[in-house]
């Protein structure tokens, strides 16, 4: 009773086909289109990723250098304020 037998699965399949039979072809068609678009995306993503990474790397280095520079400047200013207050 805990598991469903083959006969139970056949009944479930018949009910599903009766309920969703009209929409099933369009659902399968859109699923197929989605799979083909996904495959195309995987094939072309390798070429685009290499180009994007070349452009993104300098930006990331520049941004991290600016952040480090701003942080170091703040620390130096804080030390100067402390020495001037003393």
Name the DSSP class of 2. Answer: -
Residue 9 scores a pLDDT above 90: yes
Each residue's pLDDT tens digit, 18-72: 988 888 889 899 999 999 999 999 888 766 555 555 555 555 555 555 555 555 5
Q: Which residues contact 59 (CB under 8 A, 6 or more apart)?
A: none
DSSP string covering 5-47 = -HHHHHHHHHHHHHHHTTTHHHHHHHHHHHHHHHHHHHHHHHH
């Amino acid at each position: 009773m805990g598991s469903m037998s083959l006969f139970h699965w056949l009944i479930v399949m018949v009910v599903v086909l009766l309920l969703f039979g009209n929409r099933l072809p369009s659902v399968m068609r859109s699923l197929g289109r989605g799979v083909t678009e996904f495959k195309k995306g995987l094939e072309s993503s390798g070429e685009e990723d290499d180009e994007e990474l070349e452009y993104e790397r300098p930006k990331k280095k520049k941004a991290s250098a600016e952040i480090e520079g701003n942080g170091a400047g703040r620390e130096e200013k804080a030390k100067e304020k402390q020495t001037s207050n003393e």
